């Protein structure tokens, strides 16, 4: 697969955009590449309890991996900051986990993308 | 039952809907012509140069055009099944687009060269063909390139047959990487991305042809007089599609309201997001609305406009709905009132239907900008066809890509400016 690293970078950018749109002003991202997969973690703070908004995030990121759609559309991930491509990021991931701690004001997304 | 297509049962249902739709199109062809006339018509269709605008109903008759469209679609569905592709909204969009353009430009002969080119690309990249299947299906926009060389060039068959195959396969080979790169150009606001890519490739190919003395000719094969038979037939069909969705959704229309809340920018796969029921209802509405629009402007229901209607229906599973399409249509109608052409002129009938490629502009930025996009598109689309000489069947996708690429950054800048004041 070509542009593998660029695809992962775009997935992270998309998640960062989403967290900004949810009010975060401090975002930390980590990418770990192993021989089999990329492990992505993006964590942002929130102003107030935004855990209600996280359901949509969870639904879209939980879409099954779709190599056919990814191949056609991956370059759109992270491309704009006024709309989301979360469903695309979901289709580019094999596993997604979204955690929200309303009291601590933290949203964290973890993705696994197999090679 | 999860009907998003992520389960085997859901996927089988989606395949069943596609197969029964296009099988019924084949059978409907026999309502219009005898089997022998259909065979003769199909032979005329596959030996035609096909470049824009070539109405297969005018070339081979209504029955042959129906059978051509149905068979090409069924073969593409068989290819999807062979590759074990999961059927969702983008799949419906691709198959309905192929079906529509098989009324004017794609046929049982010319689409396979482009598809083979994409297959060669997958082989070259050592990746499964299924990854690039949508580039292959949408990429058949350039199929007239093959038939133009085969049947439009006055050179020896020993030269033109390998040349046609080479041209088709070469174009198919370069489409997948170009599709990814060009998506960034319009940021997903032009739903017919491969139409934009095909416009660029077609322009390049035409330039090479012209360097060797080939002069493109304008063409308009546009049949008339089918409205009385085709309008009720297709209106009833789209009503049935709506009804099927309604029943699959448990006789509720709330899902349809949810569909209409999406801006529609790529990637908005309604089957994945809202399920098959609301998607089919939305597709039915898109089809009925398109037929009513054509009747309202005293347009013609024929091969090219049915391609427009089918494309609206297909993309109503992948981004379009009445709310985001209406402002685009309004922009084209506004152009009809103020510009030098009329709404029933053939290219403008097509511009209105295919111009809904820009529906996400209205969905994202509102009615005013949707009207502006339709207004601009209706002028630009009349001029870009000359660049590719009619080789790119998705001429409106080419124009739509340019309009979106110019308009969206301007809108963003204006909106951002307003936010700061």
CATH numbers and ranges of domains, chain A: 4-114 (3.30.565)
**In angstroms, rounded to a whole number, what is the distance separating the alpha carbons of residues B374 and B362?**
9
Secondary structure E strands in B217-351? none
**Chain B residues with CB within 8 Å of chain A CB:** 6, 85-86, 88, 90, 125, 127-128, 130-135, 176, 179-181, 183-184, 187-188, 263, 265-269, 272-273, 364, 412
- Is A14 an 8 Å CB contact of chain B? no
Is A82 within 8 Å of B85 when comparing Cβ atoms? no
Predicted pLDDT at B213: 84
Nearest in space to B142 (alpha carbons), one of B105, B93, B191, B174 = B105
DSSP labels, A41-96? EEEEE-SS--GGGHHHHHHHHTSPP-HHHHHHHGGGTT--SSS--HHHHHHT-SEE
Is A76 within 8 Å of B179 when comparing Cβ atoms? no
What DSSP element (H or E) covers B72? Answer: helix B62-82
With beta carbons under 8 A apart, name residues in chain A contacting B266: 73, 76
- Is A77 an 8 Å CB contact of chain B? no
Task: Find the distance separating the first CA and the last CA of chain B, reported in whole Å.
Answer: 50
Is B90 within 8 Å of A69 when comparing Cβ atoms? yes
**In angstroms, rounded to a whole number, what is the distance separating the alpha carbons of residues B168 and B172?**
6
- Mean pLDDT, residues A36-65 taken together: 88
State how far residue A31 is from chain B, nearest Cα, in angstroms. 24
Predicted pLDDT at B419: 60
A51 pLDDT band (50/70/90 cuts)?
Answer: confident
CB B399 within 8 A of CB B376: no
**In angstroms, rounded to a whole number, what is the distance separating the alpha carbons of residues A3 and B99?**
33
- CB contacts < 8 A, A to B, total 70
Please state whether the peptide bond connecting residue B63 to the residue before it is cis, i.e. omega within 30 degrees of 0.
Answer: no
CB A29 within 8 A of CB A12: yes
- Chosen for mutation from B138, B176, B267 (greatest number of chain A CBs closer than 10 Å) is B267
Is A87 within 8 Å of B269 when comparing Cβ atoms? yes
Of A68, A75, A83, the CB nearest to B184: A75
- Mean pLDDT, residues A39-61 taken together: 86
Predicted pLDDT at B100: 98
- Is A95 an 8 Å CB contact of chain B? no
- The dihedral over CA atoms of B90, B96, B101, B107, expressed in degrees to the nearest 10, equals 100
With beta carbons under 8 A apart, name residues in chain A contacting B401: none
Question: What does DSSP assign to residue A29?
Answer: E
Predicted pLDDT at B415: 83
Q: What percent of chain A has pLDDT over 70?
A: 98
Is A83 within 8 Å of B265 when comparing Cβ atoms? yes
Is B183 within 8 Å of A76 when comparing Cβ atoms? yes
- Is A104 an 8 Å CB contact of chain B? no
With beta carbons under 8 A apart, name residues in chain A contacting B180: 3, 71-72, 74-75
Q: What percent of chain B has pLDDT over 70?
A: 98
Give the residue ranges of chain B where pLDDT is below 70: 1-5, 417-421
Is B128 within 8 Å of A74 when comparing Cβ atoms? no
DSSP labels, B99-146? HHHTTTT--TTTHHHHHHHHHHHHHHHTS-GGGGHHHHHHHGGGHHHH
Assign residue A78 a region (left: φ > 0; alpha: ψ between -120 and 50; beta: otherwise): left
**In angstroms, rounded to a whole number, what is the distance separating the alpha carbons of residues A20 and B196?**
32
Considering only the C-alpha atoms of chain B, give the largest distance between any 2 of them, rounded to a whole number of Å: 70
- Chosen for mutation from A69, A77, A85 (greatest number of chain B CBs closer than 10 Å) is A69
- Is A32 an 8 Å CB contact of chain B? no
With beta carbons under 8 A apart, name residues in chain A contacting B267: 69, 73, 76, 85, 87-88, 91
State how far residue A103 is from chain B, nearest Cα, in angstroms. 30
Structure tokens at B278: 């609301």
Is A69 within 8 Å of B133 when comparing Cβ atoms? no
**Chain A residue with Cα closest to B181:** A75
CB B14 within 8 A of CB B91: yes
Of B125, B134, B364, the CB nearest to A72: B134
With beta carbons under 8 A apart, name residues in chain B contacting A70: 131
Boundaries of every domain in chain B = 8-211, 227-420
Structure tokens at B359: 């529906």
A1 pLDDT band (50/70/90 cuts)?
Answer: confident
Predicted pLDDT at A71: 93
């Amino acid at each position: 697969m070509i542009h593998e690293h660029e695809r992962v970078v775009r997935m992270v950018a998309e998640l960062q955009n989403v967290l900004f749109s949810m009010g975060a002003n401090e975002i930390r991202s980590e990418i770990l590449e192993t021989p089999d997969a990329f492990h992505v973690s993006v964590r942002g703070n929130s102003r107030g309890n935004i855990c209600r908004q996280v359901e949509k995030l969870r639904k879209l990121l939980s879409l099954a991996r779709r190599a056919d759609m990814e191949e056609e559309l991956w370059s759109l991930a992270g491309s704009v900051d006024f709309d989301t491509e979360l469903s695309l990021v979901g289709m580019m991931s094999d596993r997604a986990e979204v955690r929200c701690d309303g009291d601590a004001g933290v949203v964290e997304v973890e993705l696994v993308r197999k090679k | 039952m999860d009907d998003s297509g992520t389960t085997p049962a859901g996927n089988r249902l989606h395949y069943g809907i596609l197969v029964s739709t296009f099988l019924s199109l084949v059978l409907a062809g026999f309502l219009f012509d005898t089997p022998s006339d259909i065979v003769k018509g199909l032979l005329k269709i596959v030996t035609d140069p096909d470049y824009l605008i070539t109405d297969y109903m005018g070339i081979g008759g209504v029955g042959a055009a129906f059978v051509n469209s149905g068979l090409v679609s069924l073969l593409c569905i068989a290819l999807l099944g062979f590759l074990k592709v999961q059927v969702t909204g983008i799949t419906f969009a691709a198959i309905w687009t192929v079906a529509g353009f098989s009324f004017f430009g794609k046929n049982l002969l010319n689409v396979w060269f482009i598809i083979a080119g994409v297959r060669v690309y997958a082989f070259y990249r050592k990746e499964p063909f299924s990854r690039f299947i949508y580039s292959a299906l949408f990429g058949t926009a350039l199929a007239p390139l093959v038939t133009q060389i085969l049947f439009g060039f006055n050179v020896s068959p020993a030269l033109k047959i390998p040349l046609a195959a080479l041209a088709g396969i070469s174009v198919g080979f370069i489409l997948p990487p170009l599709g990814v790169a060009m998506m960034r150009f319009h940021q997903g606001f032009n739903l017919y991305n491969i139409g934009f890519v095909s416009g660029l490739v077609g322009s390049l190919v035409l330039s090479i042809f012209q360097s060797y003395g080939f002069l493109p000719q304008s063409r308009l094969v546009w049949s008339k007089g089918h409205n009385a038979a085709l309008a009720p037939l297709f209106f009833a069909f789209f009503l049935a599609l709506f009804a099927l969705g309604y029943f699959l959704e448990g006789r509720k229309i709330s899902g349809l309201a949810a569909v209409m809340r999406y801006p529609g920018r790529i990637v908005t796969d309604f089957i994945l997001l809202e399920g098959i029921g609301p998607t089919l209802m939305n597709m039915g509405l898109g089809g009925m609305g398109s037929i009513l629009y054509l009747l309202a402007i005293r347009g013609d229901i024929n091969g090219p406009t049915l391609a427009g209607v089918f494309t609206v229906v297909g993309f109503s599973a992948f981004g379009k709905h009445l709310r985001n399409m209406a402002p685009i249509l309004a922009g084209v109608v506004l152009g009809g009132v103020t510009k030098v052409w009329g709404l029933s002129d053939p290219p403008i009938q097509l511009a209105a239907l295919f111009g809904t490629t820009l529906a996400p502009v209205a969905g994202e930025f509102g009615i005013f900008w949707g009207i502006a996009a339709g207004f601009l598109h209706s002028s630009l689309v009349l001029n870009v066809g000359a660049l590719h000489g009619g080789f790119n069947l998705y001429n409106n996708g080419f124009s739509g890509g340019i309009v979106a690429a110019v308009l969206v950054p301007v809108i963003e800048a204006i909106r951002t400016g307003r936010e700061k004041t």
